[in-house]
Amino acid sequence: MEGKEEDVHLGANKFTERQPLGTAAQDRDYKEPPPAPLFEASELSSWSFYRAGIAEFVATFLFLYVTILTVMGVKRSPNMCASVGIQGIAWAFGGMIFALVYCTAGISGGHINPAVTFGLLLARKLSLTRALFYIVMQCLGAICGAGVVKGFQKTPYEVLGGGANSVAPGYTKGDALGAEIVGTFVLVYTVFSATDAKRSARDSHVPILAPLPIGFAVFLVHLATIPITGTSINPARSLGAAIIYNRDQGWNDHWIFWVGPFIGAALAAIYHQVVIRAIPFKSNC
């Protein structure tokens, strides 16, 4: 028995360099990065700045193209069982975000969503200059993505609603606004957690896995809110579809798909920075 106890003791202390996650010993060498400046003129003369904007444009273009076609495919089927259904739509949105964040994270950060950009701006993770540029490029990409779908399938696009978001019958505008706020909170909070610089310094696998939880969050939110609003949680996605579809259905409640995601993103940024990370209360930031 004494020999066994000794073996257990040695096994428990074999890897002494390992520390419980989140301990002061493990984080003592971490330094909080300085907040991004509000305006950084040097960005405007940098090719990487414009390359990042182009990456956001292309990613949002592809996102709209694939997801709107998926929505149209479900709507043109005689019943849900004859198509991929709501689950398939949710997988299309979540899967595309997973793939596109993976592809563009090293270039632009892989935002692909004005609400994500807005949340990161509030947390001072990027400059106002870059944030505005990203949002413009995301909206243009969404418009072009929806436009290409309509160009390929004009009649089905108009008949099937063009993927435009609207409040479903039986739900109020307050229901829809609440769904968009909470859904975007889930997404942006996941983005903050998956890309946290402190976690990246502590756990080397976090940056590699970041696109997976972000895509999965999008998938889950779509499962919950497709019956309510068709799920936006992305103002560019709603704007692109509304402009190309250009019917009252796409414009009547369009404000919800900007106000809701921006409120949700702001709440997520405040919660992560103030409550989870307590950054405003740290004297060594």
Predicted local confidence at residue 13, as pLDDT: 46
Whether residue 205 is predicted with pLDDT greater than 90 in this model: the reply is: no
Residues 6+ apart with CB under 8 A from 7: none
pLDDT at 176 over 60: yes
Residue 210 to residue 127: CA distance in whole angstroms: 22
Closest CA to 76 of 168, 165, 162, 167: 162
Examine the pLDDT at 100 and tell me if it is beyond 80.
yes
Q: Which alpha helices (H) appear in the chain, and where do they start and end?
A: 2-12, 24-27, 47-75, 85-104, 114-122, 128-152, 154-159, 173-194, 197-202, 206-209, 211-229, 235-245, 248-251, 256-270
DSSP structure class, residue 20: -
- In the chain, % of residues over pLDDT 70: 83
pLDDT of residue 201: 59
Report pTM.
0.85
Q: pLDDT of 242-278, one tens digit each?
A: 999 999 888 999 999 999 999 999 999 999 989 987 7
CATH architecture of 44-281: Up-down Bundle (1.20)
What is the reported pLDDT for 27? 52
Domain ranges of the chain: 44-281
At residue 40 the predicted structure's pLDDT band, cuts being 50, 70 and 90, is confident
